[in-house]
């Protein structure tokens, strides 16, 4: 954002005075050196890390409780170099994205069926509503009985967790499109196909993204959970393995990776939204 | 749509037909009721080609209902209704698709795949040549309403339906819009039905003012004032007083009040009901 000087003067009590010089686009010349915002943003995390490191070095925090940042960094580097981290990361990513992809696809298709046709709603909505009330993790025993304890169960759990947020949000997005816009489309003589293409789908896209974000969060959560049960690879496996050997540094690395990946994927979705929803007032003016 | 032109009988026939007054709008004994309430009660109405008719009436008198029937958004319960298929409507809100830029919104009104050039032309006509690619969220109320007008007119309607299109605009913008609508009407020569609660607006714009009460046309008045009208014109005040009396307002009492005949809350409530009625309908028709 641009900086605006607000100077509430004592003599001026009761008024807000904004003094702002016109921004002259003179490259470099009068450019004072600014600290970039991201550097400022990094300040407090770095301070925290330093404190943590100091406390560990001083022996206030034993490594059995949590390892020192330096130790964590060292282990992280070693794991990256040996390729171990990459291998497990790939397995986890693959699981999450596969489950998410399937779940979102099912959710979208189901929402389109129920959202766009009354008959579809009659047939499909009530089973979906019943299923969604079951927490997907509660299905673990049943899934293990049905599908064994292998990869299929893991993906299936992620799928069941991610389907419903997309389904529910997209469905309500479709149904809550401003009826005035639908009327406008009708007065313009759009047929049903055109109505869906020009009005309903773009209009429900924001809701889809809301659902997608929820699904993402859930896929992550489900991933953490399923990777603790009988796995031989994946970030979750790394973590539970590290637990057995009391390697708090590895556990922290796993947590870090979960959160970084979460951030990255969130960033990707944000970017997608910025393009797909460029018309929204919040995006339009930036 | 091709059908529009094929079935439209109002303008396609020979000159002989025109002399027999092929009114684009013909209503005979039209009835529309909601439950017990007869909103439109055996109403007769003719609108001649290129005639500008203003429809006045108290709030809840059924003006919007009548206009919606003419726009094909609402059905009649009994009677005869004949309107050209080439018709377009503009409502109080612009009803632009927020996800489409101005010109894409205009193109939405075109059924024959005409492109950007045509839309640009239409936008130029309403003075928006510089806003062609703008998203609706960035348009002012007046600009958005002009896009809506462009979208309606680009369809070359034989009948243009306007439901209080200026009600939400500020006074200055409204004056400009009055001039614009007259210019566009002269250029495109559609028959116009303008619903308004502003008596002055009706007198300034219309060839004929009709007053709706108890579901019927209570009275009508031909406005013979020469064009380029103004409220200062001789004869204007007399017409105004008369119309206000028809509407049950005694304008002689006190200082000629600007009475808003349409109380906003009632209007909004009716609109709300219609929304719900509408949503449930749109999705049930397959
Ligand atoms: N869909 C509807 N269902 C029930 N009543 C309605 C509906 N639409 C309009 N009405 C009623 O019809 C009457 C006329 O409404 P309307 O045409 O909106 O009036 P106006 O536009 O003249 O203010 C009102 O009493 C309103 O409550
Ligand atoms: Mg109305």
pLDDT at A25: 61
Mutate to test the interface with B, among A112, A188, A207, A277 (most CBs of B within 10 A): A188
Residue to substitute in B60, B61, B194 for testing ligand 1 pocket (most ligand atoms within 8 angstroms of CB): B60
How much distance in Å is there from the Cα of B65 to the middle of ligand 2? 7
Note whether B137 contacts A181, CB cutoff 8 Å. Answer: no
Query: Does residue A42 sit in helix, strand or coil?
Result: helix
Q: Are strands B159-163 and B191-195 parallel, antiparallel or unpaired?
A: parallel
Tens-digit pLDDT profile for residues A220-257: 888 888 888 888 888 888 888 888 888 999 999 998 88
* A12 vs A45, residue with greater confidence: A45
Mutate to test the interface with B, among A113, A175, A184, A207 (most CBs of B within 10 A): A184
**Whole-number Å distance between alpha carbons of A199 and A194:** 8
Residue B5: which residues within 8 A CB-CB, separation 6 or more? B12, B85, B86
Helices (H), chain A: 37-57, 69-82, 84-116, 118-120, 126-132, 140-147, 151-175, 179-187, 192-195, 201-226, 235-244, 248-276, 281-284
Percent of chain B past pLDDT 70, that is, above it, reads 79
- Across the A:B interface, residue pairs with CB atoms under 8 Å apart total 78
pLDDT surpassing 60 at residue B273: no
pLDDT surpassing 90 at residue B96: yes
Please indicate if any CB of chain A lies within 8 Å of the CB of B135. Answer: yes
Note whether B137 contacts A281, CB cutoff 8 Å. Answer: yes
Ligand of minimum distance to the alpha carbon of B63: 1
pLDDT at B276: 46
How much distance in Å is there from the Cα of A267 to the middle of ligand 1? 48
Q: How many angstroms separate the Cα of A71 from the Cα of each of A52, A59, A127, A258?
A: 12, 14, 51, 19
pLDDT surpassing 80 at residue A168: yes
Q: Tell me the residues of chain A between 7 and 66 that have a Cβ less than 8 Å away from chain B.
A: none
**Whole-number Å distance between alpha carbons of B219 and B199:** 14
Average of pLDDT values for A69-78?
Answer: 92
Mutate to test the interface with A, among B108, B133, B276 (most CBs of A within 10 A): B108
Average of pLDDT values for A86-108?
Answer: 93
Picking from A189, A199, A279, the nearest residue to B135 by CB comes out as: A279
pLDDT at A14: 73
How much distance in Å is there from the Cα of A251 to the middle of ligand 2? 65
The secondary structure of B14-75 as a DSSP string is -HHHHHT---SEEEEEEEEEETTEEEEEEEEEEE-TT-EEEEEE-TTSSHHHHHHHHHTSS-
Tens-digit pLDDT profile for residues B133-189: 999 999 999 999 999 999 999 988 999 999 999 988 888 999 999 999 999 999 999
* b/e code A45-65 from CB counts within 10 Å (16+ = b): eeeeeeebbeebeeeebeeee
pLDDT surpassing 50 at residue B3: no
8 Å CB contact between A19 and A9: no
**pLDDT band with cut points at 50, 70 and 90 for residue B62:** very high
How much distance in Å is there from the Cα of A173 to the middle of ligand 2? 28
pLDDT surpassing 80 at residue A42: yes
Average pLDDT, chain B: 81
pLDDT at B4: 35
Domains of chain B, earliest start first: 2-86+156-281 (3.40.50.300)
Percent of chain A past pLDDT 70, that is, above it, reads 91
How much distance in Å is there from the Cα of B267 to the middle of ligand 2? 6
pLDDT at B45: 94
**A71-275 adopts what CATH topology?**
MetI-like fold (1.10.3720)
pLDDT surpassing 50 at residue B52: yes
Note whether B98 contacts A280, CB cutoff 8 Å. Answer: yes
Average of pLDDT values for A33-55?
Answer: 87
What the block records as the tokens of A70 is 């330096």
**Short-list B185, B180, B129, CA closest to B161:** B185
Average of pLDDT values for A51-64?
Answer: 89
Picking from B1, B91, B279, the nearest residue to A189 by CB comes out as: B1
The whole-angstrom distance between A181's CA and the closest CA on chain B is 6
Query: Does residue A230 sit in helix, strand or coil?
Result: coil
pLDDT at B13: 38
Picking from B88, B137, B278, the nearest residue to A187 by CB comes out as: B88
What the block records as the tokens of B197 is 């609660």
Alpha-carbon torsion, ordered B20, B26, B28, B31, to 10 deg: 180
Does ligand 1 come within 6 angstroms of the Cβ of B270? yes
State phi, psi for B23 to the nearest 5 degrees: -55, 125
**Short-list B186, B205, B208, CA closest to B47:** B208
pLDDT at A261: 83
Structure letter (DSSP) for residue B221: E
Residue A267's Cβ-side half-sphere holds a number of Cα atoms within 13 Å equal to 6
Residue B256: which residues within 8 A CB-CB, separation 6 or more? B237, B240
**Short-list B255, B185, B246, CA closest to B216:** B246
**pLDDT band with cut points at 50, 70 and 90 for residue B124:** very high
Please indicate if any CB of chain A lies within 8 Å of the CB of B100. Answer: yes
8 Å CB contact between B70 and B87: yes
């Amino acid at each position: 954002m641009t900086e605006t000087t607000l100077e509430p003067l004592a003599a001026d009590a009761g008024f807000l005075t904004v003094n702002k010089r016109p921004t002259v686009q003179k490259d470099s010349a009068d450019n004072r050196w600014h600290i970039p915002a991201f550097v400022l943003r990094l300040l407090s995390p770095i301070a925290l890390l330093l404190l943590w490191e100091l406390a560990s070095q001083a022996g206030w925090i034993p490594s059995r409780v949590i390892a020192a940042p330096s130790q964590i960094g060292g282990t992280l580097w070693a794991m990256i170099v040996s390729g171990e981290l990459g291998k497990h990361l790939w397995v986890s990513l693959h699981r999450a994205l596969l489950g998410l992809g399937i779940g979102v696809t099912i959710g979208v298709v189901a929402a389109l069926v129920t959202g766009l046709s009354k008959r579809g709603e009659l047939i499909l909505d009530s089973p979906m509503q019943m299923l969604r009330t079951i927490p997907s993790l509660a299905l673990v025993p049943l899934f293990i009985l049905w599908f064994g304890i292998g990869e299929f169960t893991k993906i299936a759990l992620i799928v069941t967790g991610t389907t419903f947020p997309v389904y529910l949000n997209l469905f309500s997005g479709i149904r809550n499109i401003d009826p005035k816009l639908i009327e406008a489309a009708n007065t313009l003589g759009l047929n049903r196909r055109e109505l869906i293409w020009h009005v309903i789908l773009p209009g429900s896209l924001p809701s889809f993204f809301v659902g997608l974000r929820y699904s993402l969060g859930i896929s992550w959560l489900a991933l953490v959970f399923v990777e603790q049960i009988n796995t031989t690879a994946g970030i979750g496996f790394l973590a539970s393995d590290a637990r057995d050997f009391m390697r708090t540094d590895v556990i922290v690395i796993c947590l870090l990776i979960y959160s970084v990946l979460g951030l990255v994927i969130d960033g990707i979705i944000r970017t997608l939204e910025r393009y797909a929803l460029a018309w929204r007032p919040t995006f339009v003016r930036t | 749509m091709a059908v529009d032109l094929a079935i439209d009988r109002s303008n396609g026939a020979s000159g002989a037909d025109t002399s027999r007054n092929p009114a684009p709008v013909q209503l005979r004994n039209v009835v529309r009721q909601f439950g017990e309430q007869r909103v439109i009660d055996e109403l007769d109405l003719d609108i001649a080609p290129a005639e500008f008719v203003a429809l006045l009436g108290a709030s809840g008198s059924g003006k919007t209902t009548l206009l919606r029937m003419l726009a094909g958004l609402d059905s009649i319960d009994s009677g005869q209704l004949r309107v050209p298929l080439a018709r377009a409507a503009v409502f109080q809100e612009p009803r632009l698709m927020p996800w489409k830029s101005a010109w894409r919104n205009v193109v939405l009104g075109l059924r024959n795949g005409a492109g950007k050039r045509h839309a640009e032309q239409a936008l130029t006509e309403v003075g928006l040549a510089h806003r062609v690619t703008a998203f609706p969220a960035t348009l002012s109320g007046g600009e958005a309403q002009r896009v809506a007008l462009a979208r309606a007119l680009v369809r070359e309607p034989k009948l243009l339906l306007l439901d209080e299109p200026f009600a939400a605009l500020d006074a200055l913008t409204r004056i400009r819009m009055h001039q614009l609508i007259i210019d566009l009407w002269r250029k495109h020569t559609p028959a116009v039905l303008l619903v308004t609660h502003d008596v002055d607006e009706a007198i300034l714009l219309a060839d004929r003012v009709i007053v709706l009460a108890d579901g019927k046309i209570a009275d009508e008045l031909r406005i013979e004032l020469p064009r380029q009208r103004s409220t200062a014109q001789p004869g204007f005040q007399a017409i105004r007083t008369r119309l206000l009396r028809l509407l049950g307002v005694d304008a002689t009492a006190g200082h000629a009040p600007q009475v808003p005949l349409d109380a906003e809350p009632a209007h909004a409530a009716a609109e709300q009901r219609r929304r719900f009625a509408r949503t449930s309908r749109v999705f049930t028709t397959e």
